[in-house]
Structure 1
Amino acid sequence: MKKITLVIMMMVCIIATAQTTISGKVVDDGNQPIPGANITLKNSSSGTVTDFDGIFTLTVQESPPFTIIASSVGFESSSMDISSQTTGLTIILKAGTELDEVIISASRTPERIFESPVSVERFGIKEIKNTPSVDFYDGLENLKGVDINTNSLTFKSINTRGFATFANTRFVQLVDGMDNTAPALNFVLGNLLGMTELDVNSVELLPGASSALYGANAFNGILFMTSKNPFDHHGISAYFKGGITSQEAAGDNEFYDYGIRLAHKFSEKFAAKANFSYLRGTDWFATNTINVLNPATNRLDPNYDGLNVYGDEVSTNIRGVGEALVNRGILPAGAENLLPDESVSRTGYNEQDLNANKAESIKFDAALHYRPFANDFEIIYNGKVGRGTTIYQGANRYSIRNFFLQQHKLEFKNNNFFVRGYLTDESAGDSYDIRFTGININRKWKDDQTWFGEYAGAFVQATLAGQLPEQAHLIARQTADTGRFIPGTPEFGQAFQAVTSDPNLLTGSKFQDATQLRHVDVNYNLSHITGDFADIQVGGSFREYKLNSSGTIFTDFDGPIRYSEYGAYTQIQKKIADERVKVTGSVRYDKSELFDGNLSPRLSIGYTLGTERNHNIRASVQTGFRNPTTQDLYIGLDVGRAILVGSAKDNLDRDVRTFSDLSGAGETIVGSNTVTITGRAAYENSFSASSVANGAPEASGATLVEPEKITAFEVGYRGKVKKFIIDLSGYYNQYKDFISNENVIVPLYGQVGDGTLSLLALQNDDFKVYQAYTNSDVDIKSFGATIGVNTRIPGDFDLGVNYTYAEQDFDKDKDPDFVTNFNTPKHKVKATLGHTNLFKNFGFNTSYRWSDSYFWEASFGNGNIPSFSVIDAQINYKIPKLKTTLKAGATNIGGDEYFTAFGTGFIGSQYYIGLSINNL
C-alpha cells in the first residue's frame, strides 16, 4: 500500500510540474477591458476566454518556453512568448477592421474576409450585442443584400438576390453544420427552432450560389450559425427581455423572451453545455379583407372572397342551383330564370376568429465535447429540440401550432477533417390549415347543398316580392346563414376543436406529419500535406428523406415514401505572385436517385494590391443547382383554390380524386355524377389557365419537374481607403429549367385537343384547377449590385451605410402562366449609427432601413407592397461589477405599419427592456 501511495504521489508531482498557469488581462489601446477575447496556446487547441472584465487564467499541460496568442473580433491578434509561470500579464490588442475578421464559410477553411473569393457577410458577437432589433436573427436584416420577409413575430424568412416566398427552398441555413430545414416543409422556419442568442458565436452569410461546396439547394444563399464551444466559453449566462408589441389591429400586447446557458470545462478532455430559451407573445393580426376575385368590390359582392377571410372560397353558380331545385320539384318551373347567372359564395370567417395569433418558441439543446487526447481531436454529441407556434403562409395560411423539431448530431473532427452525421425529425403537432378550418366549420352547421339551396329559394321569394337584386341577395344570405356558428360561442368552439383535430380535409383541417431526413457530411483538408503546393480539400455528403404525413400532405397513404441523394466535391486553392493572387477552383458532383447527376464547378480569382496590401479585387464564375423539393415531387393536397400535385413519376398515379359535383349536362355526358381523376391529368390532360381566361383554350404543356440550374458571375472589391472600409459587388445570374408553379385547368371529361368534350367541360364548369410543379423554357436572368461603406466618424461613432439593387429579366408574354416569385424590391438602403462607449459604460445603436415598393406574387395571393422606412434603436448600460448589461430599445419607432408580403399581418412596433448576465 505504501508503494502504491508513493507511486501515486510521484505521478501527481510529475503532472503538477508539467502544468503551467498564466493569468492576466486583455485590454484595447485605450486600456478598456476586452471581454470574450480568445487566449490560445500556439499550435494547440488549449485555450480560454477572457471574462467580462477582460481577465483570463490559462493552464496548459506544457512547460515554458511557449507562445500564447490573444485575439478578438475587431482587433489585430497579438502573440506573447512565455518563459515561466506568470501572473499579472497585460496584453494590448490594437483595433483592427472588418477586413481582419476571419471566416470559414466561403472556402470551408479559415481565411480573412478580406481575401474571401466570393461575397460574404458576417454578424459576430459584437454585432449581436449591439443590434437594436429585439433579437440577433432580426438584426441580420441590416446586412447589405439581405431581405427578411416577416410572416409572423416568430417566423422570419431570410433571402438574398431575389426569388423567394416564405417557402424559401433556395436558401439554406446551417446550425453547427446541421441543415435546419423542416423536412416536410422543405424550408427553414426562421429561428423559431434554431439557436439561442446566448450560444451564438458567429453568423456568416454567403449570398448567391454555393452549390460547388455545399450541394443542392445552396442556390440563392446559405447562412451559417456557429455556437460557442464549452472548452472556450464556459460559465453560466442568462438574459431576459420583455415589452409590448403594438399594432392597430391587435392593440398592445405583452411579450417576453428569456434564456440561460450553462457550460463547464471539466478538464482538458471533457466539456459540456446546455441552453434553454422561451419566447411568448401575440402575433401580428392579418386583417386584409380585399376581394381577391374582384378588388373593386367589397363584402356586399355575392361572390365575395376575402384575402384573410376563410370559408368564402366555396361558391357555385346560383342559377345552376335553381335548375337543380326545379328538376327536383322544390321550386316551380321557370323559377331558375329569376336567378342571376352568376356565382355566389358562402359567408366566411375572419382569420382572427380561426387563429389565436399566439407566438411561441421553446428551444433546448445540449452538447457533450470530448477530447480523448487533450489535443485538437474532438468528439461531439449535440442534441436539439424545439417546439413552436407561428403562422406560415404558403398556398394557404397555416397555423403552425406546437410544431416540434428535433436534431441529433454525432461529429468527429480535428483541425484537418470532420465527419458528422445527424437526424432531423419533425412533428406537425396541432398544426392546421386556416382556410379549411373556415370551410369545414361552415359545413358543420350546414352542408353546402342545403346552404345554396336555401339561398336560391330565398332569392326567388324576395324577387317575387318585388325586391331589387341587391336587396334579394342580402335577404338570401341572411336566410341561408340562419344557424351559423358565431365566433366566441360554445357551438363555434366545439366545431373549431372538431375540425382542427380531423386530418381529413373533406371534414377537417389538421396536418399530420412525422417526416425525417438523415444526413452525413465528410470533409478532409489536405493542407498540412500539400501546403507547399496548394491547399486541397475533398469531401462528400449523403442524405435520405422519409416522408410520413399519412396522406395529409404527401401521397403517402400506404406508408412512408423514401428517396436519397449524394454528392462529392474537391477544392484547390493557391496563392501566387508574392501571395497577391489567390486562385480558388472547386467542383462538386451530386446525384438524386430521381434525376440525373449534376456537376457544379466554381472558379474565382482574387488580387491584392497596394503597398499596404489593403485593396482586393475578386471575380468568380460558378454554377449551382436545386433539386425539386419533397413537395415539388410528392405533394398531393387540395388547398381549395387549387389541387397541388407533385410531379415525381411515381406520384402521378398516387394522387387519385373522385369528384361528384358535375353539372347536369356533365352528368348526362359521363353517365354518372362522379368521375375519378389522377394527378397525371395535370401534366398530360390540362389547359393553361391564361388561355382559358382569354377565351382560347390551349394545352398547358406543363412538364415533369427537373432540377433547376444557375450560372452566376460576380465581381467585387474590398478595401480600406483612409478611414473608410468599402465592400462592393455586382452579379449576373442565368437560370435554366427554373422551377415554379403553374396553374392548369383539368377538364373532368374529354381529352384536351379533342375539340368537343373537353371544351364542353369548360363551358359547363366541369373542371378543376390544379397547381403543377414544372420548369420554365423561358430564359430567366437576374442581376444586381451592393455597396457598403463603414467608418468611424469624429467622436468614435461607428457609421455604416449600404445600398442594394436587384432586378430580374423575364419575358412574361412568352410564358404567361409561369410565376417566378421574384418578390424583391429594386432598391434598398440601410444605415447604422452607434457608439459602444459614448460615456463610461453607456452605449447605443440605431438602424434605418428603406425599401422600394415591389410586386409580391405567390400561390396565396398577388399584390403590391408599398415602400416603407423603419427606424430601430437601443441604448445599453454595463455594470461591470455585476457582469451585467441593461438594454432598452424599440423597433419601428415611427409606428408606420408596413408589410413585406401580400396577405400577412401588418408589422407594428415593439418596445422592450432587457438584461444579460455574464454574456461574453
Structure 2
Amino acid sequence: MLKTKLCFLLTLICGVMYAQTKISGKVVDSTNEPLPGASVVEKGTSNGTSTNFDGLFELTVADNATLVVSFTGYETTEVSVNGKTNFTIVLKDGVQLDEVVITGSRTPVRSNIASPLPIDIVGVKELQSTGQATFDKTLQYKIPSFNTVQTPVNDATSLLDPYEIRNLGPSRTLILINGKRKNLSSLLYTQTSPGRGETGADISGIPIDAIKTIQVLRDGASAQYGSDAIAGVMNVILKDDYANSSATFRAGITGEGDGEMIGVSINGGDEIGDDKGFINYTIDVSKTALANRPGTVNAEGEFADFGGARPGETLADVREFLSRRPDAGNINGSPETSAAKFLINGSFKTAKDKDLYFNAAYVYKKVNSFANYRTPYWRDIQDFPYLGLFFPGANPTNTGTYTDALGTSFNGNGYDGYLPTFEGDLADYNATLGLKGKINGWNTDASITVGGNRQTYLVNNSHNRAEILDANGEYVYRQNSPISFQPGGTAFNHIVGNIDISKIINDKLSFAIGTEVRGEFFDILEGQLSSYEGIGADSFAGNRPENSGEFSRYNIGGYVSASFDATEDLLFEGTLRAENYSDFGTTFVWKASSRYKFLDDKYTLRASVSTGFRAPTLHQIYTQKSQFSFVAGQGIQVVGLVNNVSPQARQLGVPKLKAEESTNFTVGFGAKPIKNLSFTVDYYNIQIDDRIVLGNEIDFSGTGLGLGTLSFFSNAIDTRTSGIDVVIGYKGIELGEGKLGLNLSGNYTIENERTDNNGSLLVDQTQESLLFTSRPQTKWILGANYTVNKFDFNIGNTYFGKTTFHQAGLDSNLRTEFIPKIVTDLGINYNATKNITIAANINNIFNVLPEWEFVAENQTGQDIINSTAITATGLTQIQNEANLITFNQRYSQMTYDGYHFSQLGTLFNLSVNYRF
C-alpha cells in the first residue's frame, strides 16, 4: 500500500513538473515601442515579473496559465499561454490615460488629455537621451521655458547654478519630490548674473537614474501648494520598479580635451515581504575635471584700469606680463566637481487599504573653482612687499628688495601675481515618511518631510592685507597673514507636515481638503577671524559675527478643493487657500480652472485664473555681508548688502519685506486629432505686485550716516510676464524597417517688463536686464527619434533666441545682444544584448559658442560703433566699451552677465548600461 501511494505521489509531482513552462516575450504599445516596467503576472497567483528596459520578460508558469499584463495608462489584457513559449503582447492606450497626472490637482487624479492645466511630462529615457550629466542641464534641453547655465566666474554659484521657468527666477518655481515640497538651497545668489537676489532648490543633486518621470506644471499653483509656485511646479516622480536592476558607467570629455568626466550609477530594488511592498535605490558617484575657457586680455584696457598702481609703470610692463599669460592667469568655465548621490524610494502595505511610503536622499558635492587672477599690476608688490614671500614667480621686473611702511624688507622673488581658489562643500538631504489609505471611502495621506542644505567654503592661495597692528606695533596680517581661510557658509533646513484628504463623491463631484505646517531654519555660519577681520580674505571675505546667526519662522496653511464634471465634456475645478506666516501675517489665494472636450474627446479647450503669493525667504530677510564684486570700469570692488531688519536699514528708511502677490491667467487648446499626433498651445499672463528684488549698489558715503556702497532687498517693482507655450508630438511614423517620432516644443515671451513707474533708484537698467531680458526671448526644441532593430537614434536642435543686456557702466546709447543660435545634439543607443546598452552622445555637435554684439539705441550709439577715432587709451570708443563689460576681455565669449548656453563647446559622452 505504501509503495502504491509513493508511486502515485511521484507520478503527481512529475505531472506538475511537466506542466510548468518557461516563457518569454516582449510588451509593447500600439506603436511597437517597448514598455519597461510593465507587470506580467500568472492569473490567480503571486507568480509574476516586470519587463526590463527593452520591454522583455521571462517567467515560468503552468502550461495552461493565463497571463495578466498591465501598465499604468494602458488597458490591462489577459493572454492564454496554451503551450506557447514566446509572446509579443500589445497594450492599448486605456481611456485616454496617456499619463497619470497628479501635479496641479488636489482632487483624485485625471489623465493628461483631460487636464485643465498645461503639464509637460518627461520620462527618464528622454532625460538620459540628452547626454547631459546633471538633472538641471537635461531640463535645459527638454523644457523650452526652463533655462539654466553656468556663470563664468563661479564663487558659491559653482555649487549649483540658478535656474528658472518663464524668466521669473529660481524662487518662483516650486520643486516637489513625489508630491512633497523639497527644501531650498542655503545659497543666495548675489552676483550680477541671472537669478540675482534669489534662491532655489538644488535640483542638480537629484540623480537622473532615480527618476521615473517629471511633471512640470506651467501654471501658477500657490492655491494648491503655497509659496514659491507663482511660475509653476516641478514634481519629480521617483522610480518604483524593484524587479529590474542596472549599473551604468559614464565617461565624457569636451572637444577641447578638458573637462573629463567619469561616473558610475547603480539603480536597483527588492520586494518587501510577500508582495507587501518594494524598495528602489540609486547610488551615483561622479567626478568632472576643470574645463577652462578664458579670454585673451586686452593690454590697453588693463593699463587703463591698473596702470597707475605703481609709479613709473608703463603699458610695456603690462604687455610683458600678458605676453607670458595672455589670459592674465584667469580660469573660468566649468570647475572641478566631485559628487556622491544616494536615494531610496519605497512603500509597504501595512493593512488592506493602508500603505506606508518613504523616500530619502543625500547628496554631497565638492567643488574647486577660482576667483579672478590677481595680476602683479593689480596687487602690486610695492604696495604689498611681502607678496614675493607668499607667491614667488618668474616676473623679471620683480626681483629686487621692497620695504613696507614699518621698514621691513622683502625680496621680490619674481612675484608674478596669484590666483585665489574658491573651494566649496555642499551637503543636501531630504526625506519623507507618510501613510496613505482609505477611511470610510475617503483617500487619506499624512506625511512628514524634512530637508536641508549646508554649504561651507574654503579660500586658499590668498591673504589678508589689512593694516592692523598688534600691541607690539607689528602687523597682525599682511606678511603674518595665513594663506588659507575658512569664511563660513550657510545652512537651511525645513520640517513639513502634510495631511491631505480627498474623495470622489459621485461620478460628477470630487472633493479635497488638506493642511500644511512648515518650520524653516536659516543659519549664517561665522567665518574664522582672519577671514573677515579688516578687509578679510582677498577675493572672498568671511561672514562677520554681527552678520551671522540662526533665524527661523513657521507657517500653517490649509486648502479646500473641488472638481465638478458639469457634463461628460465640461469640467470645473476650484481651490481656496489660507496661509499664515509667523513673520509677516496671513494671505488668502484662490484658483479656478476649466476644460471642455469635444469631437469625441479629440480636442480640448482649457483655462485657469488664480491669485498667488511668494513669501520672502529667510535668506532675503536676514542676509547681510560685504563681498567682492566686479564693477564695470573699476575692476573688483568691495560692496555691502544690508538686510531689512538691520540698524543700517532703519537709518536708510528701508521697509521690511512683505509677500509678493500675483495674478495668473492661462488659456490653452489641446488636440489629438489622430492616434499618434498631439499638440497643445497655451497662452499665459502673470502679473506680480510688490516683487522682491536685490537692488543695485548705491553710494551712501555722502549721506553722513557712515555708510558706503550698499544694496538691499525691497518690494521694489510690479511686473508682467506673458507668452505662449507650444508642444507638438508625432510618433510611430513607419520609415524603412524602423519607426520615427518627431517633437517640437517652444516658448515665446510676448512681454516681460515693469508695470509700475517708481523710477530707477533701486532697479536700474542693469538690474532690469537681469530680471527681464537675461534669458532668451524665445526658445524652441525640435527633436527626432528613430528606432530600428537594435539601434535608437536621437537628434535634438535647440534654438536659443535673442537676449538683450545693459551692463553697468555701458554707454546709455548702446546695448548688447546675444546672437540667436541653434545647438544640435546627437545620441545613439545600441542594444548590444538583452542586458547591455551602449549610448554615445555628441552634445553641441557643431561646436556653436555664445556670441554677442553691440546694438545702437539711437544715432549717437551708431556713431560710437562706427567711429574709428582713437581715445586716450589707444583704442576706439567701442573697443573701450567692449573692455568695460568683459573685464578687459576676460569674459569675451559671454560677458560677465550670463549667456544662453554653455561656452564649453562640443561635449562627447559615452555610457554603458548593464541590466541584471
TM-score by length of structure 2 reads: 0.70
For 1:633, the equivalent position in structure 2 comes to 621
Q: Which blocks of at least 5 consecutive residues in structure 2 are unaligned? A: 1-15, 152-157, 189-197, 312-321, 374-419, 470-476, 528-542, 629-637, 851-892
Structure 2 CA distance for partners of 1:609 and 1:200, relative to 1, 3 Å: same
Aligned match of 1:256: 262
1:830 aligned onto 2:789: no
* Residue identity opposite 1:849 in structure 2: T
CA contact (8 A) 1:156 1:191 kept: no
Match of 1:515 among 463, 482, 492: 492
Deviation of 1:876 after TM superposition, in Å, equals 0.9
C-alpha separation between the residues in 1 aligned to 2:297 and 2:685? 37
Instruction: Please give the secondary structure, in 1, of the residue aligned with 2:671.
Output: strand
User: What residue is the counterpart of 2:71 in the other structure?
Assistant: 71
Aligned-residue Cα RMSD (Å) equals 4.5
**Equivalent in the alignment of 1:613:** 601
Structure 1 residues 681-700: aligned runs within 5 Å: 681=651, 683-684=652-653
Give the match for residue 36 of structure 1.
Answer: 37
- In structure 1, what is the equivalent of residue 525 of structure 2? 550
Instruction: Give the structure 1 partner of residue 341 of structure 2.
Output: 363
Is 1:808 matched up with 2:756? no
Going from structure 1 to structure 2, the CA distance change for 1:136 and 1:638 (only over 3 Å counts) comes to closer
Q: Indicate yes or no: 2:149 matched with 1:173.
A: no
| Preserved CA contact (<8 Å) 1:286 1:903 | no
Q: Which residue of 2 aligns with 1:687?
A: none
Which of 868, 876, 883 is 2:829 aligned to?
Answer: 876
Match of 2:362 in 1: 385
| Structure 2 partner of 1:101 | 99
Q: Deviations over 1:294-339 (max 9, x none)?
A: xx971111458xxxxxxxxxx99x9xxx9xxxxxxxxxxxxxxxxx
SS at match of 1:728: strand
2:254 matched residue in structure 1: 245
Counterpart position of 1:589: 578
Aligned with 1:565 (options 555, 559, 576) = 555
Post-superposition offset of 1:22: 12
Preserved CA contact (<8 Å) 2:560 2:575: yes
8 Å CA contact 1:394, 1:859 repeated in 2: no
How does 1:708-723 map onto structure 2 within 5 Å? Answer: 708-722=660-674
In structure 2, relative to structure 1, the CA distance for the partners of 1:632 and 1:275 (3 Å cut) is: same
Aligned in 2, Cα 1:794/1:562: closer, same or farther, shift over 3 Å? same
* CA–CA separation in structure 1 for the residues paired with 2:512 and 2:575: 9
Matched, 1:855 2:844: no
Of 445, 452, 459, which aligns to 1:418?
Answer: 445
User: Contact 1:540/1:567 (CA < 8 Å) preserved in 2?
Assistant: yes
> 1:86 deviation in Å?
11
| CA displacement, residues 215-264 of structure 1 (integer Å, 9 cap, x when unaligned) | 101121221111112xx4334211111020245xxx52321122012311
Q: Which amino acid aligns with 2:729?
A: N
2:536 maps to none
Q: How does 1:497-516 map to 2 (within 5 A)?
A: 498=482, 500-502=484-486, 510-516=487-493
CA deviation string 1:548-590 (max 9, x = no partner): 223466977675222112211121011122x101111011111
Counterparts of 2:201 and 2:371, CA distance in 1: 12
> Partner residue of 1:661?
none
Q: Which amino acid aligns with 1:501?
A: F
Query: Cα 1:134–1:900, aligned 2, differ >3 Å: closer, same or farther?
Result: farther
Q: Which moved more, 1:150-159 or 1:784-793?
A: 150-159
1:90-489 equivalent positions in 2, closer than 5 A: 91-94=89-92, 100-108=98-106, 109-134=108-133, 137-151=136-150, 155-164=160-169, 168-176=170-178, 177-183=180-186, 185=188, 187-188=199-200, 190-194=202-206, 196-229=207-240, 232-247=241-256, 251-267=257-273, 268-285=275-292, 287=294, 298-302=301-305, 352=330, 357-367=335-345, 369-373=347-351, 375=352, 377-390=354-367, 399=422, 401-414=424-437, 416-431=443-458, 441=462, 443-444=464-465
- Matched residues in 2 for 1:32 and 1:179: separation? 33
Change in Cα spacing, 1:86 to 1:376, as seen in structure 2 (3 Å) is farther
On the 8 A contact 1:617/1:718 being kept in 2, the answer is: yes
Classify the secondary structure of the residue corresponding to 1:115. coil
CA shift, 1:173, in A, is 1.8
**1:219–1:48 distance in 2 versus 1, CA, 3 Å:** farther
Is the aligned partner of 1:539 residue 2:492? no
Shift in Å, 1:28:
4.2
Correspondence list, 1:701-712, <5 A: 702-712=654-664
Distance 2:805 2:172 in 1: 17
Aligned to 2:535: none
Cα distance in 2 for partners of 1:358, 1:221 equals: 32
Partners in 2 of 1:183 and 1:371 — Cα distance? Answer: 36
Q: How many Å separate the matches in 2 of 1:421 and 1:841?
A: 45
Q: Give the number of aligned pairs.
A: 723
* Consecutive unaligned residues in structure 1, runs of 5 or more: 1-15, 305-314, 323-346, 450-483, 486-490, 503-509, 654-677, 685-701, 751-757
Instruction: Provide the residue aligned with 1:885 in structure 2.
Output: 837
Which residue identity is paired with 1:380?
Y
Q: Deviations over 1:733-764 (max 9, x none)?
A: 111111112236464575xxxxxxx4xx8xxx
**Equivalent-residue separation in structure 2 for 1:815 and 1:589 (angstroms):** 34
Which residue does the alignment assign to 1:642? 639
Q: Distance in 2 between matches of 1:157 and 1:542?
A: 27
Query: Structure 2: how far apart are the matches of 1:740 and 1:361?
Result: 32
Change (3 A) 1:22 1:209: farther
The letter for the 1-side match of 2:721 is: S
Q: For residues 559 and 154 of structure 1, what CA distance do their matches in structure 2 show?
A: 22
Q: 3-state SS of the aligned residue for 1:717?
A: strand
CA distance in 1, matches of 2:133, 2:796: 12
Q: Is the 8 A contact 2:343 2:362 kept in 1?
A: yes
Q: Distance in 2 between matches of 1:864 and 1:392?
A: 28
Please point out which of 798, 803, 816 is paired with 2:741.
Answer: 798
Contact residue 394 and residue 860 of structure 1 kept, 8 A: no
How many angstroms does 1:72 deviate by? Answer: 5.5
Aligned to 1:841: 790
Cα distance in 2, alignment partners of residues 45 and 544 from structure 1: 44
1:31-73 CA distance string (max 9 Å, x none): 775332245899999985323464558999xxx9999551256
Q: Map Cα deviations across residues 453-476 of structure 1 (whole Å, 9 max, x no partner).
A: xxxxxxxxxxxxxxxxxxxxxxxx
1:771 to 697, 711, 728: 711
- Work out the CA distance in 1 between the residues paired with 2:752 and 2:46: 47
Change (3 A) 1:916 1:853: same
The equivalent of 1:725 in structure 2 is: 678
Q: How far apart in 2 are the matches of 1:742 and 1:44?
A: 66
Please tell me whether the aligned partners of residues 782 and 797 of structure 2 are also in contact (alpha carbons under 8 angstroms).
yes
Cα distance between partner residues in 2 of 1:211 and 1:393: 39
Q: Does 1:738 align with 2:726?
A: no
Residue 831 of structure 2 aligns to a residue in which SS? strand
Distance 1:848-1:815 versus aligned 2 partners, 3 A rule? same
How much does 1:96 deviate? 8.5
Contact 1:245–1:910 (8 Å) recurs in 2: yes
Specify whether residues 367 and 78 from structure 1 end up closer, same or farther in structure 2 by C-alpha distance, changes over 3 A only: closer
Q: CA deviation at 1:111?
A: 1.8
How far apart are residue 500 of structure 1 and its match? 4.7
Which residue in the other structure is 2:723 paired with?
A: 784
Q: 1:843 to 1:635 in 2, by over 3 A?
A: same
Paired residue type of 2:35? I
Report the residue type matching 1:589 in the other structure: A
Identity %: 19
Relative to structure 1, is the Cα distance of residues 65 and 524 closer, same or farther in structure 2, using a 3 angstrom cutoff?
farther
State the Cα distance separating 1:147 from its structure 2 match.
2.5
